[in-house]
Structure 1
């Protein structure tokens, strides 16, 4: 590490989603502790795409004044409303178009002050910018090491395939990962390899392994098998040299990172009144939403069980005004009948503080990797309800490899 780090800046370039920005902010604090300046570069999503948790990201920026934030304005002509294409595909294509803006921003910094560029799994194409400057580029991998092992090996599996992975009847064998049915992979990579979305995702993932190094949000004692597999590139991806992999986790968000005004959330005061380990905590992530039918089923189950519960329920799939439609989605009188033993939160809640509260006894989760690390560090058992992305794989890790959930 250079001795004069105070004048050097690490630029972090995350994908504009809460699940990417939150752990990236934690990584930024690691660099700060080592004496570097840190700038997080974000894009402003164009019309036609969701804001990807802008309110949470604003809270992160407000509560971390030591981190500089730079937001690229929208690229002209990028109104994507009504395009009919998958939002993830549109955003991946858009992020690549920001390479020029990123290069201009990095060149505006004195070369002696720019230490490195850190991308993520969906912004890894920015390695091209680092090559042109040149500046070292690292790809921070916010999901599990097991997911990275799959990402590293998937392109070779798809090369030359003429049929979708979803048609495979035998489990997939990835080094370092339990045998997996193809259905547990991201739905987008199960399509025909020539489909635009599948092709785009795989091409971005190829770039992950072209970085100078890959820091991963995990720790080796948690994921020994995939970490060891990634440390042996000759076996993991035969014929290809992989960059070094560094375990830098668990990077777990603290409530203070999201509460700029430092006010204690009202749900914590409610938990203070509950007996120890008596509350089931239900939360499906920043982008997780269920349709009306499963929400009603959950509500019926909670009511019949007689169990104390804290339910974070800010979104209802298929509704335009989530908070106003919530009462209509839940069974008639549910909130009134359960008010003495249950609390429904219709907005963001401090998940880390809830999990660490002595009243919390179990966690019903979507199995996002951030949530998985948070429940592991809090020592709370989980009930797994994966919804999207790599959450199916995380469920396997939690229930089979780690033994922390069902």
Structure 2
């Protein structure tokens, strides 16, 4: 039994921000000689998820894939019209189908890794199967501090101006994800139900590393946040893999890299708000005005709809014909898939205007690119605070959440210039880049995350033997 192969099932939730780190974790485990089974909820919400899964399956045929067909449910019974949150709920309500699905898995599983938003429906199943369960937390360790404390904080949070969280210090109430403060919201209900069950897991995996979040990680693992919390394993950076490149789209849309090749080092600001956000056209056009005002060249990825299947309008319609004409003389504006890692690694890119989704933050850290944070939803203000405290980025707290304020172009342009001219941010970003590479063993010897990953594998082997 001691020589039995570790076999891990991975169960992600909806959205690229959840799926992507699961697939990168799968690659890491395969490279450590583990057997991996990937459970894929079907149908996906977005085309981006379907395409990414297809490329992953082609690149890693040794990973077993179990399609998980969801039970239809009445969306009116969930207090949300967000397609991704409705998919969260559909997956949770379908989890009773997991035991029969897992019965077909061979060899037997050593452990089950589920998304942080699937704990409550999955936990009774893994307990009945006597299967160790781990949680992949797809945000920052700082956000994990908040997530693990939220059930305790929510009853009195409306009376607070600032919230004390061990490992995060003090954050204003305005940095709490707004949906958590809405009564009976599906997202809030999920987090409030799942958070108290974290201690029942065998461990929590986080896409972070010591040099980036030493205080939150130490607070989590020392019991300062929640005494009964299981070990937290910093696994990051979980970095982009070759399978994530879409060769056909790369061939069709290679203009960003070609365009960047003609720009001087550090002269371009990259602007992207991720795969999840839909931004009002009035604000989109103010961003355009801000990019015209800044003295720097820019590469701007425009997203108009929350779900990519609905992205039908062309750039002229979204940005405006006259504004688009003026933008073309100074930068490149695109409305299609781009390889973000390739862009952030290009030496002409000197700064990143980002929503501070955690995957984007970690990729920017890996490539040493300073960030101007503009948090829009969810965990992003907490993540922006991580970046600012680490000294390699900044964020404008007065800009508010998505749709809360109309931020004018002049202010956007001034903030971009401020970031791009800040030499201290550049120096610190390069230090973070070096630390990120050391964490995964790039500097020779065992990096902090490399040691953490091996500790997890050893624990899985021990469980395999005792099972």
CA drift at 1:389: 1.1
Choose the corresponding residue for 2:163, options 164, 172, 188: 172
What TM-score does the superposition give when structure 2 sets the normalisation length? 0.77
- Change in Cα spacing, 1:263 to 1:291, as seen in structure 2 (3 Å) is closer
Q: Distance in 2 between matches of 1:338 and 1:58?
A: 35
Choose the corresponding residue for 2:118, options 123, 127, 141: 123
1:346 aligned onto 2:342: no
Contact kept, 8 Å, 1:40 with 1:70, in 2: the verdict is yes
Equivalent residue, structure 1, for 2:32: 34
Q: Distance in 2 between matches of 1:236 and 1:318?
A: 36
Aligned length: 391
1:400 aligned onto 2:389: yes
Equivalent residue, structure 2, for 1:4: 4
| Partner SS state of residue 282, structure 1 | strand
- Change in Cα spacing, 1:92 to 1:83, as seen in structure 2 (3 Å) is closer
- Change in Cα spacing, 1:188 to 1:29, as seen in structure 2 (3 Å) is same
Contact kept, 8 Å, 1:382 with 1:404, in 2: the verdict is yes
- Change in Cα spacing, 1:60 to 1:308, as seen in structure 2 (3 Å) is farther
Task: Point out where structure 2 has 5 or more consecutive residues left out of the alignment.
Answer: 396-467
CA drift at 1:191: 2.6
Equivalent residue, structure 2, for 1:371: 360
For each residue in 1:148-205, what CA deviation from the matched residue of structure 2 results, as whole angstroms up to 9, or x when unmatched? 11111111223xx2x6x3x33431000000311112111121134x666533321022
Q: Distance in 2 between matches of 1:260 and 1:320?
A: 20
What TM-score does the superposition give when structure 1 sets the normalisation length? 0.88
User: Matches of residues 126-165 of structure 1 in structure 2 within 5 Å?
Assistant: 126-158=122-154, 161=155, 165=157
| Partner SS state of residue 211, structure 2 | coil
Equivalent residue, structure 1, for 2:449: none
RMSD: 2.7
Choose the corresponding residue for 1:222, options 188, 208, 212: 212
Q: Distance in 1 between matches of 2:115 and 2:77?
A: 28
> Which has the higher mean CA deviation after the structures are superposed, 52-61 or 122-131?
52-61
Contact kept, 8 Å, 1:254 with 1:352, in 2: the verdict is no
Choose the corresponding residue for 1:293, options 274, 282, 286: 282
Q: Distance in 1 between matches of 2:78 and 2:179?
A: 18
Q: Distance in 1 between matches of 2:292 and 2:257?
A: 21
Equivalent residue, structure 1, for 2:375: 386
CA drift at 1:329: 2.9
Q: Distance in 1 between matches of 2:257 and 2:334?
A: 11
Equivalent residue, structure 2, for 1:94: 90
| Partner SS state of residue 126, structure 2 | helix
| Partner SS state of residue 111, structure 2 | strand
1:58 aligned onto 2:48: no
- Change in Cα spacing, 1:382 to 1:188, as seen in structure 2 (3 Å) is same
Q: Distance in 2 between matches of 1:24 and 1:33?
A: 14
Choose the corresponding residue for 1:108, options 79, 86, 104: 104
- Change in Cα spacing, 1:118 to 1:283, as seen in structure 2 (3 Å) is same
Choose the corresponding residue for 1:202, options 188, 192, 203: 192
For each residue in 1:251-295, what CA deviation from the matched residue of structure 2 results, as whole angstroms up to 9, or x when unmatched? 021354232559563311221111111111011101122111111
Choose the corresponding residue for 1:259, options 232, 246, 250: 246
Contact kept, 8 Å, 2:15 with 2:46, in 1: the verdict is no
Task: Point out where structure 1 has 5 or more consecutive residues left out of the alignment.
Answer: none
Contact kept, 8 Å, 2:46 with 2:309, in 1: the verdict is no
Contact kept, 8 Å, 2:143 with 2:382, in 1: the verdict is yes
> Which has the higher mean CA deviation after the structures are superposed, 311-320 or 352-361?
311-320
Q: Distance in 1 between matches of 2:348 and 2:85?
A: 42
Contact kept, 8 Å, 1:276 with 1:359, in 2: the verdict is yes
Q: Distance in 2 between matches of 1:16 and 1:79?
A: 18
| Partner SS state of residue 37, structure 2 | strand
1:73 aligned onto 2:73: no
- Change in Cα spacing, 1:319 to 1:38, as seen in structure 2 (3 Å) is closer
Contact kept, 8 Å, 1:291 with 1:317, in 2: the verdict is no
Contact kept, 8 Å, 2:279 with 2:304, in 1: the verdict is yes
Q: Distance in 2 between matches of 1:317 and 1:140?
A: 24
- Change in Cα spacing, 1:316 to 1:257, as seen in structure 2 (3 Å) is closer
| Partner SS state of residue 161, structure 2 | coil
Contact kept, 8 Å, 2:356 with 2:373, in 1: the verdict is yes
- Change in Cα spacing, 1:345 to 1:114, as seen in structure 2 (3 Å) is same
Contact kept, 8 Å, 1:182 with 1:190, in 2: the verdict is no
